Structure 1
């Protein structure tokens, strides 16, 4: 089973963006309780091989050339870095003179082989959701042995040497990281990580909003604090 999937071309900051998923099904190192894609039946953090990669690369090249693409956003079903051909995928895009934005949850960005791959990208997005070890294990359900401390340290290590634009996505979750204490912890992480851009979001999936979603007012209050660091 293989093949990429795409979202419709959209305009962002005046650029034509092609958003591509390079995983045929969900492969992730987490199994978050609120994941819109569903459960992680393939919980992995090592390179995986997928069929039809040659045909997928030809299709991607065609999509770029036929749609006057100015930025390719690799946003996949899970952790895109585990596709063992991701380096080739990024090289193909860059050979067309197109910059790459990569979404990773950020946990494995501290490993040399993934650092080298992510360094090829003009923009890398990492994520923070849970901000205590107990909540990290409870709601993100990572691969056994993962810790929140290592998660944060890996992103800090990566960004210290990264020459591109590092973007941190912070998802605020009701009853887990929306208290003043939690916001202060997130502030400390942001200060240590020094991202180039911060995006504050919340749970928007209707299946989880009632239990985990925060109000517009609370999102505004938290955003005001975190975006003014």
Structure 2
């Protein structure tokens, strides 16, 4: 038994999708106050080795065969790029002739070593949750030295050279980015990044929904604005 974990397979746009978490515990370059996984005890942005990688890769191969998956979604507990065997994971999937989707918060997509890895994926998801420097430092609590400007710039530069499908996920949070001025800023960020697809989400976790969630009406209104730029 390896250290990877899996969600039940599901159908998306006619494809059988298998989600895999390649981190045995949370490792991330952020420590967001509203993260559903919890606090980042391992706040890192450099790659790290984990145990049981050989058995994990063998298990992944078996899961792909047994589920007849068509798209493998690397959606991990934190930032998947910090697993130093992520290249091997992607290669295993590609060798089986399958597509790979990678979820990253997007900050590391400005570094050459991670750009090279992400470029091997058919789809890459980057995300944004707050849009001011003050909020970024206060609620996403990144590694020291990170800035919101560089965060956005990294996704912009990555997508300019990326040949796959770049998906930009925006989380609307009450009191942080749901006002008209913030929506205008998000529109400009979308234009800068020029993603292939936009996903609008909101706080669904019950622990944060009451304080940070927005109404159905406001969510629909914002979604219509951002999805029709």
**How far apart in 1 are the matches of 2:108 and 2:41?**
19
Residues 1:14 and 2:14 are matched in the alignment: yes
Q: CA deviation at 1:65?
A: 1.0
Residues 1:70 and 2:67 are matched in the alignment: no
Partner of 2:168: 168
Partner of 2:222: 222
The count of residues paired between Structure 1 and Structure 2 equals: 229
Q: Deviations over 1:130-164 (max 9, x none)?
A: 10000111110100100000000000010000000
**How far apart in 2 are the matches of 1:160 and 1:171?**
23
Partner of 1:27: 27
Q: CA deviation at 1:211?
A: 0.6
Partner of 2:53: 53
Query: What is the SS of the residue equivalent to 1:186?
Result: helix
1:197-208, aligned counterparts within 5 Å?
Answer: 197-208=197-208
Partner of 1:145: 145
Query: What is the SS of the residue equivalent to 2:152?
Result: helix
**How far apart in 2 are the matches of 1:77 and 1:138?**
21
1:32-43, aligned counterparts within 5 Å?
Answer: 32-43=32-43
Partner of 2:154: 154
Query: What is the SS of the residue equivalent to 1:222?
Result: helix
**How far apart in 2 are the matches of 1:218 and 1:143?**
32
Query: What is the SS of the residue equivalent to 2:17?
Result: strand
Partner of 2:129: 129
Q: CA deviation at 1:118?
A: 0.2
**How far apart in 1 are the matches of 2:55 and 2:214?**
43
1:97-108, aligned counterparts within 5 Å?
Answer: 97-108=97-108
**Structure 1: gaps spanning 5 or more residues:** none
Q: Deviations over 1:156-191 (max 9, x none)?
A: 010000000000000000000001000000000000
Query: What is the SS of the residue equivalent to 1:204?
Result: coil
Q: Deviations over 1:2-41 (max 9, x none)?
A: 6100001111111111000000000000000100000000
| TM-score, structure 1 normalization | 0.99
Query: What is the SS of the residue equivalent to 1:134?
Result: helix
Partner of 1:196: 196
Residues 1:112 and 2:112 are matched in the alignment: yes
Residues 1:180 and 2:177 are matched in the alignment: no
Which stretches of structure 1, 4 residues or longer, exceed 3 Å deviation after superposition?
none
| TM-score, structure 2 normalization | 0.99
Partner of 2:209: 209
Q: CA deviation at 1:128?
A: 0.8
Q: CA deviation at 1:67?
A: 1.2
Residues 1:92 and 2:98 are matched in the alignment: no
**How far apart in 2 are the matches of 1:53 and 1:120?**
20
Q: CA deviation at 1:43?
A: 0.3
